[in-house]
Amino acid sequence: MSISAAKTRSLLEKISRRRVLVIGDAMLDHYIWGNATRISPEAPVPVVEVARDTYVPGGAANVAVNCTSMGASAQLAGVIGDDDAGVRLRAVLKERGVKSLPLGGKGPTIIKSRVILQHQQLCRLDREAPPEAYRIDAQAAVRRLRGAIETSDAVIFSDYAKGLISNELIAAVSKVARDKGLLVALDPKPKRPMDFSDLDLITPNRSEAAQLAGIEWRTGRPFPAEEVCRRIHQRHRVKFLVVTLSEDGLLLSLEGRVVRQIPTAAREVADTSGAGDTSLAAIVLALAVGADLETAAHFANAAAGVVVGKLGTATATPAELVAYVSHRP
């Protein structure tokens, strides 16, 4: 099964009336584009002649702009510093139709700078503070966000393990969201113990899913899908579990039972940066308008297929999605 152009158009039309609140680690993705034709006399490294710099939203900010790119309304709650990068990030968010909601915190704006030579990534430079700088008071955050939560159709926690997302924040926001009947999703980074329950959707990768299940697993070994899904449901009572399997597609689970695995939809891969953010946004939007899990996953797979065909952190538009599922260039 795949998703048809007609079904994609129907979902996109419904999505255009939905509102999403994204809470998470906001970042600014900085791309340094250039060429290298000689080696430095100081060290055996290329000398990069910079042609241009571009800036796009990254992390949780990328999830939010993917929501607006597909037609929904989105607000982003995160820690954005009062610095040059913060000014630039707020500006690019505004350009993409995303309203930013400050949550306090003392950390500077997180920046990921990638040096790109002849369409190949040479290196990445990260600028950020320790997690303590991005921690916030959960109850104070809920007081700030209550209005945004109550006027949304879905809440997405986008966790990049930078310090903002905590068990307390998930619990406090989820209680308000559940009282309003909203869909609540989490893209987890279980580098520390995570204590959450009764969420509608989580989207870990293979390694993260094994950690959440309390199972030791290493790349190259068979993935114990049924045991992982069963244990995660027992521990966290999640309704929908979507495990991202990289080139192997998506593993779908409903209330602890493996539903099926669907293959990746990507036809050409230029850059996988941000593809997980696109997939998360798409699957939440599809579920929020009443799609079943398999349909939502195929919609998300198509959206990810669009963005990996682009260089750099990117989004998928309705026209690109319809063209993609129609197998048009």
Q: Which position among 25, 159, 271, 277 bears the catalytic label?
A: 277
- Give dist(CA 128, CA 185) in Å, integer: 25
33-50: burial string, b at 16+ Cβ within 10 Å, e else: bbeeeeeeeeeeeeebee
What is the distance between the terminal CA atoms of the chain, rounded to a whole angstrom? 21
User: For 89, phi and psi rounded to 5 degrees?
Assistant: -65, -45
Question: In sequence order, what are the residues at sequence separation of 6 or more whose Cβ sits closer than 8 angstroms to the Cβ of residue 171?
Answer: 138, 195, 196
Q: Count of alpha carbons within 13 Å of 239, Cβ hemisphere only?
A: 11
Question: For this structure, is 277 an active site residue?
Answer: yes
Single out the residue of 253, 252, 243 nearest to residue 217, CA to CA: 243
Side chain identity at 119, as an amino acid letter?
A: H
Residue in the block written with tokens 């998506």: 250
Query: Which residues are paired to 32 by β-bridges?
Result: 53, 115
Single out the residue of 198, 191, 226 nearest to residue 212, CA to CA: 191
Residues catalogued as catalytic: 277
